[in-house]
Amino acid sequence: MHIAIFRVIVAAALILAASDAAADGKETYTKACALCHASLPPKLGDRAAWEPRMKQGLDAMVAAVIKGKGAMPPRGGNPNLSDDDIRRAVEYMVDQLR
Ligand code: HEC
- The domain of 65 spans 21-95
pLDDT for 23 equals: 57
pLDDT for 18 equals: 56
> Quick check: is 68 in a domain?
yes
Q: Give whole-number Cα distances, 5 to 1, 10, 17, 18, 65, in Å.
A: 7, 9, 18, 20, 40
> Quick check: is 7 in a domain?
no
Is the CB–ligand 1 distance for residue 32 below 6 Å? yes
Beta-strand (E) ranges in 1-98?
none
> Quick check: is 83 in a domain?
yes
Q: What is the pTM of this model?
A: 0.84
CATH number of the domain at 38, please: 1.10.760.10
pLDDT for 4 equals: 74
Q: What spacing in Å lies between the alpha carbon of 74 and ligand 1's midpoint?
A: 9
Is the CB–ligand 1 distance for residue 36 below 6 Å? yes
Average pLDDT over residues 17-46: 86
In a 10 Å sphere around its CB, with 0-12 CB exposed, 13-18 middle and 19+ buried, how is residue 35 labelled? middle
Report d(CA 61, CA 58) in Å as an integer: 5
> Quick check: is 69 in a domain?
yes
Mean pLDDT of the chain: 88
> Quick check: is 8 in a domain?
no
User: Number of folded domains in the chain?
Assistant: 1
